[in-house]
Structure 1
């Protein structure tokens, strides 16, 4: 049985920001790990400097992949907003999560 547009919109309005948040969390975790690895490489005198370089490059590659994924999910978010306008006639200028925190134009004037 197909979902109604409202049900689908409600589900997506929860899932898209959750995905964005989790990618950001992963990016923070990789950044913290990168800091720890570089610090360990610098502060461990018995290990040759070149020894940890491959690990650092792999972490940088993972970090870049997360940045790319974040950009792609943000584009998906924009695509879904456009689809909502076209299909459901929603007049959304911001995603629902952000729009709730913006003062209405009447309150500003």
Structure 2
């Protein structure tokens, strides 16, 4: 295998799981914000419930968009693993984060 393919593979092994984690972090952040907004609407007296409804709907759309992004990133992960097997002859039985390489990713992204 060429050195160029090895370098590219190492970069992807680091970057793909990092992207997955960041999308999950964004989804958690938006979900937390949703909880705060709904709690504030419920707990704030004198403000009609309809006042925050548009905001809650926008947050729900943002959550759904992130779920879609997460699915796309997971499909990209699978496609890249297939390309690695076909192009570089990698024998990938498990993805890097499952195989223990994810610990290195945490150091890179943390």
Task: Provide TM-score, normalisation by structure 1.
Answer: 0.87
Residue 105 (structure 2) aligns with? none
Give the TM-score of the pair, scaled to structure 2: 0.86
Corresponding residue for 2:99?
A: 99
Q: How many aligned residue pairs are there?
A: 99
Between structures 1 and 2, the one with greater helix share? 2
Gaps of 5+ in 2: 102-110
Alignment of 1:67-86 (within 5 A): 67-86=67-86
Structure with bigger gyration radius: 1
Name the Cα RMSD after superposition. Answer: 1.2
Report Cα offsets for 1:2-58 as digits up to 9, x if no partner. Answer: x71100000000000110000000000001000000000001121101110000000
Residue 27 of structure 2 corresponds to 27
